[in-house]
Amino acid sequence: MEYLQTAGLRLPRLGLGTFRMQGEACRAAVESALALGYRHIDTAEMYGNEEAIGAAIATAGIARSDLHVTTKVWNDNLAPDAIRRAFDASLKKLRLDRVDLYLVHWPAPKMNLGVMFETLLKLKEQGRTRAIGVANFNIALLKTVVEEIKAPIACNQVEYLLDQDGVAAIPKASRSESQRANLDAQHIGLDDEDKQAIAALPKDRRCVSPGFAPAWD
Strands 99-104 and 129-135: parallel
Taking the mean position of all CA atoms in its chain, how far away is CA 49? 14
Structural domain that includes position 23: 3-199
Tens-place pLDDT, residues 197-210: 988 887 777 888 88
pTM of the entire structure?
A: 0.93
Is residue 184 a part of any domain in this protein? Answer: yes
* CATH assignment of the domain containing 16: 3.20.20.100
Is residue 207 a part of any domain in this protein? Answer: no
Is residue 206 a part of any domain in this protein? Answer: no
* Cβ–Cβ < 8 Å for 159, 207: yes
According to DSSP, residue 1 is labeled -
Is residue 47 part of the annotated active site? The answer reads: yes
Q: How far is CA 172 from CA 144, 208, 217, in A?
A: 30, 15, 27
pLDDT at residue 217 in the model: 65
Taking the mean position of all CA atoms in its chain, how far away is CA 136? 11
Is residue 86 a part of any domain in this protein? Answer: yes
Tens-place pLDDT, residues 40-70: 999 999 999 999 999 999 999 999 999 999 9
Point out the catalytic residue in the list 3, 47, 102, 160. Answer: 47
Is residue 54 a part of any domain in this protein? Answer: yes
